[in-house]
Amino acid sequence: MIREAKAGDLHPNGVLKELGFRYDSNNLYQQTIDAVLDAAEMLDLPHHLRLILAEPKTELMTHFPVRLDNGVYRLFKGYRVQHNNILGPYKGGMRFHPTVALDDIKSLAVLMTMKCSLSQLPLGGAKGGVQIDPRSLSEDELRRLTRRFTSALGDNIGTDHDIPAPDMGTNAQTMAWMADTYMNFHDSQNKHQSRAVVTGKPLKFGGSFGREKATGQGVVYAMEECLPALDIDIAKATFSLIGYGNVGSWTARLLTEQGSTLKAVMDHTGAIYNDKGLDAEKLASHVVSTGGIAGFEGGEAIDEETFYRTQVDIFIPAALEQMVCRKNAALLNCRVLVEAANAPVTPAGERILLGQGVTILPAILCNAGGVTVSYFEWKQNLQAETWEEKKVDKRLQKYTRAAAKRVTLAAEKFGCDLRTAAYCAALENIAEVYKLRGIFP
């Protein structure tokens, strides 16, 4: 919905006004919750549910010292935001990035609540992180930071309370350090089960087959469900990507395996182009060995504007939030935008794209593969089981198909865009559970 308010005014949304929000159109949390509340209005959700969902249940902020390799101590700021747990234990990634800030983490926690609900997982929504560029630390420093942060979180995480996972700047190794630290503090009778406190762990330490590629795999399954209705054949489609980390590189490898052509990629080191198609596997190896896409021999370097203007069928942001803003959206030359990253499109960017007839496949559908396979990993840990990759993939596909169907049905029922439809489907599920459980006491 277009808001007419000036920056600093009380927020024009009734619930946000009641909570004393001052309007800021650039604030990611306000952008996210505003869109969720628009869907709540469409569903005529009870006022008390809108109030509950408008703010996270818990916001934790902790400052903790870590000794660097040169003997100097540095103080770090860490966050964990637990948005809602009506459906089950909180679940969400841990991000290590220099721009990590409370409102962004709050926004990502809301998206986790919506994502788990849309996929009908028995999990709630959370997110956390540390304001740090992990590339600036040695491995020893990163390990000390991860352990100290985990101990600072204490009992605020737990196998049946809040279960972190990897996100930007963290990986399976980070999760192994988190699990090990937690296990050292929680010497329960079910010690082997306590590694279920985090997911996305290495295979040899309780990880699940298929978890590393899961988010990219989920993106591709969601595309397989939604693109035929838009008359796009994955085997012949062209695409470009922002971000070539976990999500971007797996999405690219899986799509090119099916015959799609990767025309252009941009990451924090630059942008590259190849009209005949970039080799996704070789590019992934190049990024692992050099830290970014710059210098890849299989493509020519291009500038940012040329990257955004590249003509493709599908544009896939898989990096930071809010990258497709008003300015960049106007440059795009695509038919579909697939949100592999969380909240990559600003409301102003979205209005431009929808106005140009571009279909946006929303993040809570497209990137739910990560949390879905995390849910499988958690189940396997608690039941001391190991599932084959085929079983993991098949189940992920089933969950993704069901979620995509819910979005399509809601879009037809409410006559709205796919993002609003995804929020409607997620909120309907949450509202039913609130109705059954009631509000304590």
Strands, E assignment, 140-267: 162-166, 238-242, 261-267
Structure-block tokens of residue 201: 């762990």
Q: Which residue in 115, 127, 213, 263 is the catalytic one?
A: 127
Rounded-to-integer distance, Cα 237 and Cα 168, Å = 27
Contact 430, 86 (CB under 8 A): yes
Q: Which residue's beta carbon is nearest to the bound ligand NAD? A: 245
Tell me which DSSP letter residue 23 carries.
Answer: P
Give the shortest CB-318-to-ligand NAD separation in angstroms: 5
Give the shortest CB-247-to-ligand NAD separation in angstroms: 4
User: Nearest to residue 59, comparing CAs of 115, 89, 5, 101?
Assistant: 101
Rounded-to-integer distance, Cα 45 and Cα 431, Å = 7
Give the shortest CB-189-to-ligand NAD separation in angstroms: 31
Q: Compute CA distances 124 → 149, 263, 426, whole Å.
A: 22, 37, 12
Q: Where are the alpha helices (DSSP H) in 102-210?
A: 102-118, 139-153, 172-185
* Known active-site residue 390: no
Rounded-to-integer distance, Cα 431 and Cα 87, Å = 10
> In one letter, which amino acid is 117?
S
Give the shortest CB-376-to-ligand NAD separation in angstroms: 13
Contact 125, 115 (CB under 8 A): yes
Give the shortest CB-156-to-ligand NAD separation in angstroms: 21
Alpha carbon of residue 202 to chain centroid: 20
The residue ranges that bind ligand NAD (CB under 6 A) are 166-169, 215, 242-248, 266-268, 292, 318-320, 340-342, 367, 370
Structure-block tokens of residue 289: 């060995």
Task: Give the residue numbers marked as catalytic.
Answer: 127
